[in-house]
Amino acid sequence: MFHYPDIDDAIITKAAQIEEELKEVFHRIDEISEANQYKVLSAFIKHKVCEADFNSGSGYGYNEVGREKLESVYADIFHTEDALVRPQITCGTHALFLALSAILLPGDEILFLSGAPYDSLEKSIGITDSPGSLKEHGISYRIVPMLEGAHFDFEAIRSNIRENTKIAYIQRSKGYVNRPSLSCEQIKEAVDFVRSIRDDIILFVDNCYGEFVEDKEPTDAGADICVGSLIKNPGGGLAPMGGYIAGRADLIERCAFRLTAPGLGKEIGGALGTLKSFYQGLSLAPKVVSEALKNAHFLAAMCEAYGFHASPSSQDVHHCIVEAIDFYDPEKVIAFCRAIQHSSYVDSYVTPEPWEMPGYNDPVIMASGAFMNGSSIELSADGPLREPYTVYYQGGLTYEHGKYAIMRALTEIMK
C-alpha cells in the first residue's frame, strides 16, 4: 500500500478495502478493454496504417491518404459503411448539429426517444429559440421522456411517430440528467421497435461518453448513424480537438457535403497535423476508457462507504463514463470540485468558483485541469448548485491519477 503524505490513513485503508471489493468489477472492465483493443488494433492492421499516414498537407487538403484511412479505420471499428473524422468538427455539439442538419429537410421531424437531448443542443434544435436552429429551418421535434429507471416508453414512441418523422434520436449517456445511461442491448430494443413500425426512419445515436464502454457500439445494435467528440472517449486523451460521425454511406456523404460543400464533401479539409494524435489516441482509447470506468466505480464505492448516494452504484454495470454523486450539501460540491482541480496536472493552483454559466439556471462549479481545453476524458468534475447537490465526475487518463484525486477530494469532504 502506497502512503500518500497528504491523504488520511483512514481513507487510504478504506481505498485498499474497496479495491479488493471491486476486483471482479475491474476484471470485467479489463475483459472489455481487451476486446476493444483487439478490435481497434485489427482495424489498424487491416488498413496498413504507416508513418506516412500521419502527414497532412495544406490548402484544400486533397489526397490526404492518412485522413481517408483514419475514416476507414473508424468505419471498421463501428462496423459502418463510412465515417467522417475531422478536426474541423469542433466538439460533440457541433458533430451532432452537423449530422442533424445534414439529414433533415424542411418539414421533417425528429423524435427524441430518450427524453430531451443534452443541454448544449437546446438552441441547435430550437427547444430554446435561436437564429440558425433546426426549428428556424422548418424542422420540428417531439420529445418522449423515458419511464422511471430509463425504460423506453414504447407506447408513447408509437403514438408519436408521424408521417414526417425522419430521425429517431437516442442519447446513450445520461449526460447531466438523473437517469441511467443506456446499454447497447436497450438501444437495440428501441431500434427494433421503431423499425417494426416504419423501416425508413433513421436511427440516430448521440454516442458521447459511451465509446468503448462495452464491446459493442450503437451501430452494432442497428443504429444507422452515431456521433461523438474526440476530446472524450475515442480521442484517448491525445486528440486535441475534433468529432466523428460513423454510419451509412449515404448519410455520411450528406454530412460531408454539409461540413464542406455539396460536390466537395470528404475530398477536402486538411487535417492540419492532427492525424498522428487521432491515430495514437484511438489506439489508446480502449485502455483509457477502462481506466476512467474504474475511477467511476472507485468513486461510487468510496462515496457509498461514506454515506453518499452514487449513480450508477459501485456494483452496477456502467454504460458511460459519467459518475454522479449526491452530496446533499453545496459546500461539499464546492470542496469536491476544488480538490479535483488541485489534483490536476494542469492548473492545479487554480481554485474554481461557482459561476452563472450561460444556459444554466443555477450557478455551476467546474474542475478541469486538462491538457486539452475542456477535455472530459481527462480528470474532470462539475456540479450545478441545486438540490440534491450532485457532482458529475468523468475521466482520469490513468486509474492512479483518478484514485489519488478521489481520495484527496474525500479527505476534504470528510473534514
Ligand X SMILES: *Cc1c(COP(=O)(O)O)cnc(C)c1O
Task: Report how far apart, in Å, the C-alpha atoms of 134 and of each of 100, 109, 116, 208 are.
Answer: 8, 10, 15, 21
Q: Which strands make up the sheet holding 109-112, listed edge to edge? A: 82-86, 243-247, 225-229, 202-206, 165-171, 109-112, 140-143
Locate all alpha helices (DSSP H) within 126-273, ordered by sequence: 154-160, 184-197, 249-259
Closest CB to ligand X among residues 161, 367: 367
88 vs 173 by CB, closer to ligand X: 173
d(CA 184, CA 173): 11
> For ligand X, which is the closer residue by CB, 25 or 182?
182
Which CB, 121 or 365, lies closer to ligand X? 121
The residue range among 86-94, 104-112, 133-141, 277-285 that interacts with ligand X, by the rule CB under 6 A, is 86-94
Pairwise CA distance, residues 343 & 365, whole Å: 16
- Smallest Cα–Cα separation from 134: which of 236, 241, 31, 258? 258
87-106 mask for ligand X (x: CB under 6 A)?
----xxx-------------
Q: Tell me which of 209, 327, 336, 389 binds ligand X, using CB under 6 A.
A: 209
Which residues are bridge partners to 279 per DSSP? none
Are 131 and 147 in contact, with CB atoms under 8 Å apart? no
Q: Stretches 129-137, 203-211, 216-224, 307-315: which one binds ligand X (CB under 6 A)?
A: 203-211
Whether 293 and 84 have beta carbons less than 8 Å apart is answered as no
Question: What string marks each residue from 24 to 63 as x (binds ligand X by CB under 6 A) or -?
Answer: ----------------------------------------
**Residue among 296 and 410 whose Cβ is closer to ligand X:** 296
Give me the sign of the Cα torsion angle 99, 101, 107, 112. Answer: positive
> Which 151-190 positions form the footprint of ligand X (CB under 6 A)?
171, 173, 175
252 sits near ligand X (criterion: CB under 6 A): no
Asked whether 223 and 367 are in contact (CB, 8 A), the reply is: no
206 lies in the site for ligand X, by CB under 6 A: yes
The nearer residue to ligand X, 36 or 93, going by C-beta atoms, is: 93
Query: Residue 182, SS3?
Result: coil
Q: Is 78 in the site for ligand X (CB under 6 A)?
A: no
Nearest residue relative to ligand X (C-beta): 92
What is the C-alpha separation between 155 and 159, in angstroms, rounded?
Answer: 6
Q: Which residue has the cell 498537407?
A: 57
Among 208, 241, 324, 405, binds ligand X (CB under 6 A): 208
Q: Which is nearer to ligand X, 26 or 176 (CB)?
A: 176
State the burial class of residue 65 (Cβ atoms within 10 Å of its Cβ: 0-12, 13-18, 19+): middle
Position 118 contacts ligand X (CB under 6 A): yes
CA 110 to CA 95: how far, in whole Å?
16
18 vs 100, beta carbon nearer ligand X: 100
Give yes or no for residue 130 binding ligand X (CB under 6 A).
no
Instruction: Supply the minimum distance, in Å, between the C-beta of residue 175 and ligand X.
Output: 4
- Say if residues 279 and 238 touch (Cβ distance below 8 Å): no
Site track for ligand X across 219-238, x = CB under 6 A: ----------x---------
Q: How near is the Cβ of 226 to ligand X at its closest, in Å?
A: 12
- Contact status, residue 271 vs residue 87, Cβ threshold 8 Å: yes
Residues in the chain, overall count: 415
Residue 314 or 394: the one with the smaller Cβ distance to ligand X is: 394
Residue type present at position 363:
P
Phi, psi of 390 (to 5 degrees): -100, 140
Judged by CB under 6 A, the stretch of 99-107, 201-209, 244-252, 341-349 that binds ligand X is 201-209
Binding mask 390-409 toward ligand X (x if CB under 6 A, else -) reads --------------------
Task: Give the Cβ contact number of residue 146 at 10 Å.
Answer: 20
Choose the stretch contacting ligand X; rule: CB under 6 A; options: 49-57, 85-93, 189-197, 381-389: 85-93
Binding residue (CB under 6 A) for ligand X from 37, 55, 72, 120:
120
Number of residues that bind ligand X (CB under 6 A): 12
Give me the least distance between CB of 114 and ligand X, in Å please. 10
Amino acid found at 172: R
Q: Which residues bind ligand X (CB under 6 A)?
A: 91-93, 118, 120, 171, 173, 175, 206, 208-209, 229
